[in-house]
Structure 1
Amino acid sequence: MMKPATISELKKALAPLPREDLLDACVRLARFKVDNKELLTYLLLKSDDEDGYIDDVCAEISEQLPSTRTVHKKTLRKIIRTMDKCIRYSGDKETELQIRIHFCRQIVERKIYFGRCRVSANMYLAQIKKIEKALEKVHPDLQFDFREQMIGLDEYVR
């Protein structure tokens, strides 16, 4: 099996390539794996409108969460996987906070009951921890605004 090159090696190899060769490489990457295609879609078509991207991701989360008061842990895992992927594409902490807070807010507003399923409750609590960690990396004024949005979220499962 071929050992992949480091990012710096790839960057050095891509730098001298002509425009057409770069375009061909990007198209081949997009054809090769869905994640690559999704990332290129974000970079080329969605990154200019971060607010629209956040709205799309939040709408998808709302759509995937059931309207009933219970949620299966597999469904929760799938939503979190999708959410993490979208956050990784953006790489922006504010986007991460808005998406994760939206997810937690939906759980609370729909009064989703985890019952005796500690796994689902722990997945929710892990999102709260990720929010806290991301909060440390944004401007203090934004921290205040995001903390206001979080009121009531951290006590939901405990």
Structure 2
Amino acid sequence: MKAERLSNIKKELQHQSKDELLQLCLRLGRFKKENKELLTYLLFEAHDEDGYVASIIKTLDEDFEAINTASYFYIKKSIRKILRQIRTYSRYSNSKATEVELLLYFCKKLKDFKPNIFRNKALSNLYDRQIVAIKKKITALHDDLQHDYLLELEELLVN
């Protein structure tokens, strides 16, 4: 089956009744975890972006605590998983400021992580790529936010 274009889907949704739209949304939520997470964000958390970021940070803290530090292999695998989660959560929010804030927090946690990630080339490269990505994303923000996030980034790079 070939998926329809988004514009065609939008036109078709406009012809649906309220009850039919509700049933479609519920059915979408049943099929994939990401669909359910996006619906949860849109319905319960989109109005409070700061609360959303705080809940993600709490989740990230738990994920960092759960990392198996027995080998750099396990550390790399876990850190990449956390980074994938950040990208997914950022996609739900669709806010560049949220994405920058989460990436900055990720880099802070990564820098303070024990054992030191800079002893492993792959992890230090991952950290460096995230710093470059943060710099790039900061330029797309409003001037006031740029200034605030650049200060946080400089503090991260200095320490």
TM over 0.5: yes
| Counterpart for residue 94 of structure 1 | 97
Q: What is the aligned partner in structure 1 of residue 49 from structure 2?
A: 50
Q: For structure 2, which runs of at least 5 residues remain unmatched after alignment?
A: none
Alignment correspondent of 2:124: 121
Q: Does 1:135 align with 2:138?
A: yes
Contact persistence 1:30–1:40 (CA under 8 A) = yes
Displacement, 1:115? 4.8
Give CA deviations for 1:20-59 in whole Å, capped at 9, x if unaligned. 0000000000001100000000000110110000001111
Rounded to whole Å, the distance in 2 between the matches of 1:85 and 1:112 is 27
Higher-helix-fraction structure: 2
Equivalent pair of 2:96/2:137 in contact (CA under 8 Å): yes
Change (3 A) 1:101 1:112: farther
- 1:19-30 residue pairs with structure 2 within 5 A? 19-30=18-29
- Calculate the TM-score normalised by the size of structure 1: 0.89
Deviation at 1:105, TM superposition (A): 1.2
Contact 2:110 2:117 in 1 (8 A): no
Distance in 2 of aligned mates of 1:52 and 1:154: 27
Unaligned 5+ segments in structure 1 are none
Aligned sequence identity (%): 38
CA contact (8 A) 2:41 2:92 kept: yes
